[in-house]
Amino acid sequence: MVDRTLKVEKGSDYTLSITPDTVHAKPGEKATFNVIASSDSGYSQFVNLMVSGLPPGSTAQFEPSALTPTSQSTLTVQLSEDVAPGFYRITVLGSGIEGKRISATLQIDGQVPSAGAAETTVNYLAAAILGLIVAIVVAGSVLAVKRFRTHRRAKVFCIECRAKLPPGTEFCPKCGTKQTQSTQER
**DSSP secondary structure string for all residues of 156-170:** EE-TTT--EE-TT-S
**Angstrom distance (rounded) from CA 149 to CA 147:** 5
Give the pLDDT of residue 55.
Answer: 93
Other CB atoms within 10 A of residue 18 CB:
19
Positions in the chain whose pLDDT score sits under 70: 1, 3, 6-10, 111-119, 149-154, 181-186
Q: Identify the sign of the CA torsion 122, 126, 127, 131.
A: positive
The pLDDT assigned to 92 comes to 95
pTM score? 0.55
Handedness of CA 51, 55, 56, 61 (dihedral sign): negative
pLDDT at residue 157, rounded to an integer: 84
At 168 the pLDDT is 80
